Each structure stands twice: as C-alpha cells, then as structure tokens.
A = this chain, B = another copy of it.
Amino acid sequence: MNLKYKYAIMIIGDLKMNIRIGVSARHIHLCESDFKKLFGSDKALTKHVDLTQPGQYACNEKVNLITEKGKIENVRILGPLRDYTQVEISKTDSYSLGLNPPVRKSGDLKGAENIKIEYLGNIIEVKECCIIADRHIHITYDDLDKYNLKDNQIVKLKISSEKGAILENVKVKASKEAFFEAHIDLDDANANLVKNGDYGEIIYE
C-alpha cells in the first residue's frame, strides 16, 4: 500500500485571476503554397467570422482530413495564411484518424504527424503538420506585469463546473497584440463541461 503522510508548515502565496476561456475545435492553418495547391492560384480565403485574437478569423472554406484509417470532413480553415500548414485536432479525433500527434505549441512541428488534406478532389500530403495544441494563454507583452505572468510560464487553469478540474501545463504565450484568454481544446471543454466564452481562474504556482 502506497500510503504517504506528509505534514509540513508552509507559506502559501495564493493569487487568483479570472480569465475568459476560448475553446478550439479542430481546425487548420494553411501556408500560401498549400492553399494554392488545394484551391487554385486565383482563389483567396474569405472571412466567415472574426476570432477573439486580433487579426485572426474563421474562414468560409473547409477541407477534409484523410488518413489510412479515417476521414474527418469539413474542417474549417483559420486565416490569415501562415508560414506553415498546421492541423490541430483533439485526442478523440486522433483515434478516429489512427494518429498519435504530439501536444505542441503552434509552429513547433518537428515530429508532428503527417496527414492528407483534401478540397474538392485536390489532395495534398503534408508532412509533420498535425498536432494536439497545448493549453495556452494569450496575452500581450504589455499585460504580463499587470497579470503577474511571464512569457512561457506554466500555470494552472481552474474550471468550476458540475465536474470541474484544475488543468495543468497551461503555457503563457505573449505577443504584441493579443486578447487575454485561455485556449483549451474540445476534449478539455467537453470533459469539464465548459463552453467557449465561459470563465476560468488562473492558478499561479
């Protein structure tokens, strides 16, 4: 029996901060080259709706993801085009596709899974593009001090719901322009009964 008692006198610094939660469903970012291969060189992304992060938007255009094991249809493209193509799926999605994508921050794609992307019969295979996005917090460099955070700091995110959890390994991701928000994926959201736009609490440790 692995029973362990630890009694200690500790000084606790307990600092809490509410933060809006953004839930990321599966989506794809495309580089210009891959976009042209799929959609043709005379086509451009068209905006469906703005996202909370400045300059980012959901597009009307959707693609299909294809592996040897499965297919997921109608995966929305997020704009604008980036320097790299990146597919972000959940662990649940990965089982239906037969993939084992690593948990990564955006753009860190070495060792990511390969995947085929299809639009109206045009198919491209993109190497090292498919990840499970890490839990992260968007914040401006200017706001780091205000919220007592450091770029790349790992914090926890408390979610209060009928199930409830404290999510670990939430990485602070500062940029020049950002909307202060914690991004989690759909598995995290469904497991803990939260929705896009709900609020959580940063736990600083």
Binding site for B on A (CB under 8 A): 1-18, 90-92, 95, 103, 134-135, 146, 148, 162-169, 185-188, 190-193
Contact = CB atoms under 8 A, between A and B. Distances in A.
Given A90-B190, A187-B190, A8 B15 contact: no
A166 B168 contact: yes
How many copies the complex holds: the figure is: 2
Contacts of A90: 190
A193 B17 contact: no
Contact of A1 (B5, B15, B146, B192): B146
Contact of A165 (B92, B95, B103, B168): B168
A15 B2 CA distance: 10
A14 B3 contact: no
Q: Which of A2, A4, A165, A192 gathers most chain B CB within 10 Å?
A: A165
Contacts of A9: 9-12
Contacts of A7: 11-14
B165 A167 contact: yes
Nearest to A193: B91
Contacts of A187: 92, 187, 190-191
28 contacts: A1-B146, A2-B17, A4-B16, A5-B14, A6-B13, A6-B14, A7-B12, A7-B13, A8-B12, A10-B10, A10-B12, A90-B190, A91-B190, A91-B191, A92-B190, A103-B193, A135-B163, A163-B167, A163-B168, A163-B188, A164-B167, A164-B168, A165-B168, A166-B166, A185-B191, A187-B187, A188-B191, A190-B191
